[in-house]
Amino acid sequence: MSARGISLAALATALLLSACDGSSPTPAPTPSPTPTPSATTVSYDPENCFTQAVPGSAITLRQMIIPDTLKLDLARPSGFPNGRDLDDPVVDILLAMLLLDLNVSGQSTLTFANLPLNPPGNDRPFTTTFPFLAPPQGSPPRAATTGKTFDFRTDPDSAFTQVDRMGVPAVATALIGSSQKTPYNDANPTVDASGQFQAEETTLLRNLFNSIGDDLTRLGLRLCARTV
């Protein structure tokens, strides 16, 4: 056998033994991909939202919701936030005041209300006399003369149990956290005026901006909150 033949046989044997003992050539390391930079976290200060003026009134948003009462100035046109008409989209209006800079052209308290998501109106036209509700419905419909007189209760406040706060709808929903909802609903406007829930409302609005502020900005909306 030639020297070349011995050399090839030895090489083949060495490779076979190497495969049998489980060892193998170490592959060259693969370069790690360059990590993609994470998105920069944006935090918001909502104080400017609370201090912007409520359109059509002489008060700020904070003055409107603290204390949480239905406010009506008879010298100004009716309709939320000055009183409330039956067909006022009060939640959409309040959210616009809480989230949007109302001094920006093209934005108003009706920015959200005008989105094609809400029903265009009540299923039956409202009446023009008290109590202004549409005629009662049923099968068969109730008599047209039903409900012409009203017997208003004269019980003192102590006779009633408060279960919710609806002076300004959506305050208890959007600005009061779960741990404070029961104390808030059990409280009254006097407690609001003392400032007991102001920190809670500020914290919840800040959290709301931190959650959806970037989404609203991408939609081309200008926020009342300032980035920090």
Per-residue pLDDT at 18: 43
The whole model's pTM is what?
Answer: 0.71
Q: How many angstroms separate the CA atoms of 44 and 50, rounded?
A: 13
Per-residue pLDDT at 71: 87
Per-residue pLDDT at 147: 59
Q: Retrieve residue 176's tokens.
A: 């009061």
Report CA 101 to chain centroid distance, whole Å: 16
For the chain, residues with pLDDT lower than 70 are 1-40, 138-150
Q: How many angstroms separate the CA atoms of 112 and 93, rounded?
A: 7
Nearest-CA neighbor of 180 among 199, 162, 153, 152? 199
Q: Is 189 left (phi over 0), alpha (psi -120 to 50) or beta?
A: alpha
Helices 198-218 and 90-99 cross at an angle (nearest 10°) of 90
| Strand pairing class (44-45; 226-227) | antiparallel
CB 164 within 8 A of CB 184: no
Residue-wise pLDDT tens digits, 81-122: 888 888 899 999 999 999 999 999 999 999 999 988 888 888
Residue with tokens 């939640």: 91
